A and B are shown apart, each in its own frame.
Chain A
Amino acid sequence: MEPLAPHEKLWVDSAIAEDENHGELCCHECHGGNPNDPNWKTAHKGVVKDPSYPDASETCGSCHEEIAEHYKSSLHVSLSPFKKMIDMRANPDKGVHAKVDAARGSHCSACHSSCGQCHISRPEAAGGGLLEGHLFQKRPPMHTVCTACHGSRIEKEYFGKNKGIPPDIHKQKYFKCTKCHKADEMHGDGKDYANRYAVENSPNCLDCHKDIYQPKAKNPKNHWIHKDQVSCQVCHSMPYKNCYSCHVGKDKQGFKFYKNKASPIEFKVGLNPLQSEKRPEKFVTLRHVPVDHATFDFYVKNGLSNFDTLPNWKLATPHNIRRQTPQNKTCNSCHGNAELFLLEKDVKPNYRKANRDVMVPPALVPKKRSN
């Protein structure tokens, strides 16, 4: 993503005055400040950079009532799965838990979005700056909004930026993020979901690929054999990025930092930790997430004393889908190929308890086929 010059971040296109929906609003009606003060320093007193965060009801919500009603339940705004996961891993001691919570608020919660940070500006977490001179963007642009935040993993996978790995086939078909991730999913529906996979309006490969089990479809037999056994990604995603051992803290000047030790490209199939009616598959692709026992040690020792409550190899839907992949070339590219599976030996000893439910017992690795 091209960075913006400081003045470009603030430049407003005068064409906004011709926007029949927003053009008649005066700047200060949403942002505050004093429009009659010619001194920019004093005029900006009380200015709110993003008036849609954390509460959009008085600004965007005054017209877009239905969207604003559920706005706070959007995972992009609430980040509630972060809190849920960290709370489950956190030390139950109230004092320690409070410090973990503060660290989470300071570091993990910085990456939220809002109405404005998708439709008007680049997200603050990605440096901010107005999109198209404050002209309202009905569909958030992919490069400057979606992958501005979802950069390390999704962007590199989708655009084929991981060395030697081609882009997602949907990218080559010119699909933008919004083709699959619709507004209903992004805007929230009032429900407090445990994770993004539980969101009712989240995309499903079968939404488009309805016919893969039909006799006339390509390869229907193989799709039938593996139905509900493996997720689509197990056969169709390429190796993807995994992150290890993130530690957060503040430097001598009080600036926040993180240190993420390693981000290798790997491919691991494990047992589905979120098996449900919606995701009945036994085997799924797993991604190593950066949380570690000592992630918050800078703030409080033993903050994640219940680390083993949840796996840190988590259900993943890598965004580098291909029709043909190394693991689906032939039956025995996968069958009998234990290297593809997350075995005990692949998990560091201090992570094994946390990942006990997702590691694949050797007996479950599908046997090599003779024909």
Chain B
Amino acid sequence: MKSVKFTIIMALAITISLILFYGGEKARSADKENYCFTCHTNARKLIKITREITKANKDKPGGSAETEGEG
């Protein structure tokens, strides 16, 4: 009986640790949430920054005006 109890406890312990481990992976991944992710998933921030960039590059042409015809 003791050995059955021991086996059940061990099985439970292993199961719980596996759940915690894989859950932890996800949690760790969420912990890793960083400025790349928070900024690039935020359209409002991106609009603000890209406007800044566009303003800074206002006088710089993006390409040649001499291109003619189909590419």
Contact = CB atoms under 8 A, between A and B. Distances in A.
10 contacts: A6-B50, A12-B40, A14-B41, A26-B34, A28-B36, A36-B35, A40-B39, A134-B40, A151-B71, A152-B71
B70 A152 contact: yes
Interface residues of A, number: 41
Given A6-B50, A251-B65, A259-B69, A11 B43 contact: yes
Given A14-B41, A36-B34, A253 B64 contact: yes
B34 A253 contact: no
Contact of B53 (A6, A246, A255, A261): A6
B29 A257 contact: no
A152 B32 CA distance: 44
Contacts of A253: 61, 64
A305 B32 CA distance: 58
A331 interface: no
A7 B50 contact: yes
Given A14-B37, A28-B36, A258-B68, 5 more contacts: A10-B40, A10-B46, A27-B37, A38-B35, A260-B71
Contact of B46 (A11, A23, A249): A11
Size band of the interface chain B makes with A: 20 to 34
A6 B54 contact: yes
Interface string B51-66: 1011000000101111
Nearest to B30: A17
A161 B51 CA distance: 35
Interface of A: 5-7, 10-14, 17, 23-24, 26-28, 31, 33, 35-38, 40, 43, 134, 151-152, 241, 243, 246, 249-251, 253, 255-263
Given A12-B37, A26-B32, A7 B46 contact: yes
A262 to B, nearest CB: 7
A251 B66 contact: yes
Contacts of B68: 257-260
A43 B64 contact: no
A28 B70 CA distance: 38
Contact of A37 (B25, B35, B37, B53): B35
A241 to B, nearest CB: 8
B3 interface: no
Contacts of B47: 7
Contacts of B66: 249, 251, 255, 257, 259
A184 to B, nearest CB: 28
Nearest to A10: B46
Contacts of A152: 70-71
B9 to A, nearest CB: 32
B67 A258 contact: yes
Which of B49, B50, B70 has most chain A Cβ within 10 Å?
Answer: B70
Contacts of B43: 7, 11
Contacts of B54: 6
A256 B61 CA distance: 12
Given A27-B37, A258-B67, A259-B67, A10 B61 contact: no
Contacts of A33: 36
Contacts of A43: 35-36
Contact of A256 (B30, B32, B64): B64
Contacts of B41: 11-14
Given A10-B50, A11-B43, A263 B64 contact: no
Contact of B25 (A24, A250, A255, A256): A24
B35 A255 contact: no
Nearest to A17: B29
A241 B63 CA distance: 26
Contact of B70 (A7, A12, A260): A260
Which of B29, B36, B43, B67 has most chain A Cβ within 10 Å?
Answer: B36
A256 to B, nearest CB: 6
Given A7-B43, A257-B66, A27 B36 contact: yes
